Amino acid sequence: MKDKRSFFERLTGAVTVDESENTPLSAVASRGGKIKKTEKESWIEEESEEGQLTVDVYQTANDIVIKTMIAGVKPEDLDISITRDMVTIKGRREETREADEGDYFTKELYWGTFSRTILLPQEIEVEAAEASEKHGLLIIKLPKVDKGRQTKLKVKSN
């Protein structure tokens, strides 16, 4: 069966209202038409409501390090949750309106809530984790659990 969607629709994943019309949703909406959302489209819309941070994750001899750009976000607007095997970073980037929507030539920056959950390759010491921010770069250092470390346990007599 031949795919009737245009090159643009195949490239961007645009969905048509009626396959026989081959009219993109944006064209129907711009003409004031009503769009009935399918279950898949609703899921896509929900998914796009929150941005996802891009991260670098690497290890040193003693730490797992996570780096991410959070420019424009105040440290108090960040929520970092850590467990022994997972880190979740959530926040919100607020937009200050300096121009009307119609005055923009290009609008590519992301404004709103964002989050990212990172599964760690090995367990970390949650209590010893550190986070710092400099020039919009968030750096989280997570000390690895030293499984080779041993301690002597003293037996008490009563």
The predicted-structure confidence for 34-64, as pLDDT tens digits, reads as follows 445 555 554 444 445 778 889 999 999 999 9
Query: What predicted TM-score, i.e. pTM, was given to this entire model?
Result: 0.61
* Domains of the chain by residue range: 7-48, 51-96+106-143
Render each residue's pLDDT in the chain as its tens digit; 158 residues: 455 666 556 656 565 555 444 444 444 444 444 445 555 554 444 445 778 889 999 999 999 999 999 988 888 889 999 998 999 999 988 877 788 878 888 887 778 888 999 999 999 999 999 999 999 899 999 999 877 676 677 888 87
CATH architecture of 51-96+106-143: Sandwich (2.60)
The β-bridge partners of 94 are: none
